[in-house]
């Protein structure tokens, strides 16, 4: 069964070249993998927390478009189909 992997990109957590290359190594040659979709971190979940009476405490920033484009480039070196969503 063909599948797509969706990877949230969080600055300072998993946006490094080293992490991206490790992902590329892990996924290279996976015959059923259709595509890797990079998802820029966003703060939209914060509104949902408020509705539940919870406090949203995450202070991560969305990655710059250049970072996402660089990660697409790196994963492409491993022969992977890669896309990324636009910033929200």
Residue among 41, 49, 31 at smallest CA distance from 68: 41
**Which residues is 82 bridged to in the sheet?**
36
Examine the pLDDT at 34 and tell me if it is beyond 90.
Answer: yes
Give the model confidence (pLDDT) of 47-68 as tens digits.
777 788 887 777 677 788 889 9
Q: Has this prediction a pTM greater than 0.85?
A: no
pLDDT at position 45: 63
**Comparison of pLDDT for 26 and 44, the residue scoring more:** 26
35 token code pair: 């595509």
């Amino acid at each position: 069964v063909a599948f797509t992997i969706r990877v949230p990109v969080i600055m300072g957590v998993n946006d490094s070249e080293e992490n991206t290359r490790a992902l590329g190594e892990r996924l290279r040659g996976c015959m059923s993998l259709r595509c890797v979709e990079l998802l820029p971190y966003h703060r939209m979940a914060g509104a949902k927390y408020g509705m539940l009476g919870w406090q949203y405490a995450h202070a991560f920033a969305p990655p710059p478009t250049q970072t996402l484009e660089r990660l697409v480039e790196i994963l492409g070196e491993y022969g992977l189909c890669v896309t990324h969503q636009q910033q929200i």
